[in-house]
Structure 1
Amino acid sequence: MDLDANSFTLACREGGRRIETWLRIVDREHGARFYREAAAALRSWQAAEDVVQDAMVKVWQRCATFRGPGEPLAWIHQIVRNTLLDALRQRQAQAPREQPLHDDDGQLTRDAEAAVLGLSASGVATPEGALAEHQIEAVFRRCFEQFAAAHPEHATVLRWVVEDGLDNAAIEALLERSPGATREFISQCRKKARPYFAAWYALVSPAGVTP
């Protein structure tokens, strides 16, 4: 079965085994990508499985609303990402409130600055050691993991922008925000990420300072 708009529209119209077969093919051929994306954001394969299954139920329920000639896989992927954002927001709402990293003026608080300086001083070797590229990449991954653990929704959106190349219009649709609010949110993502990457910046910046 071809996973195109015509076959999807026909499957949605006929329902039953037709749409079930269509979605099984989607899961077999593209499900791994959905699971990996959700697991990277949620840091749990079990939670990722719940998100993807929930998303597939939503696809089933909403397939009659699909309007071609757009790509059905892109439409399904957006539902997966919306479901993932809902899960991240629910988790964040249930998490205990953390100490803020920034004050009202957007500057690092003293406690956060001290933590960043401590990470930079003791977490990795200095640039003078000429670390191999794979070591620098390891530092980057560790920094991103710390960022994602503290701000999972912001880290996920930033990954969509940087790695997947989603533009502001796509992020706007996912966040269901106005263009201005979306630009502000993406700016917040970068600001929140900056202190977590202090160790990496210290390695790659000639001056050894964060931008």
Structure 2
Amino acid sequence: MFAALTGLGLSTAAGLNAYIPLLVVGILANFTDRVKLPDGYAWLSNWGVLAVLAVLLVAEMVLDKIPAVDSVNDMIQTAVRPASGGVVFSATAAAAELDKSTWMAENPWLGWLIGIVVALAVHAMKAAARPVVNASTAGVGAPVVSTVEDAGSLGMSLIAIFLPLLVIAALALLGLVVWWGVRKVRRFRAARKPGG
């Protein structure tokens, strides 16, 4: 169960920022015993790969804080974030250890699929909310929301690895934030309608 929660938390983090969970997993695999990469994922702890991921992270962090550019970045990330979610779910051995299931161990594609779906769902919510944030704040909210998303991705990555039981609480909190955001969007749209 812990491995599944770790994979779920990392995939959620990848939906917010593709590179943070990859970097966290790769760095922790190098410096701790907390992350043991399964066969075929040793590349994720390679310092050259980590350097490339760090450069991509810096680029995304800058682009994601600029109104309008952030929406273009989200379109590009529609492929990257789900792929990252699939990698981190599988790389943490969650797929092989999920409930000690031999079926999961024999079908590693399912870990990839779960990670992709979770990251894609989180990414879709993020990408849908950002234009509303930009429009309702005249672009001032973009860097604030982006910083919160980056911090959320880092926090969720660390929780997923070190305190996987808290992933449930973190996902519940994320659900509340999404619910609150949907209500705000509906109010914003209602206020913009003629006669509203």
Greater relative contact order (Cα 8 A, min sep 6): structure 1 or 2?
2
TM over 0.5: no
Relative to the length of structure 1, the TM-score reads: 0.28
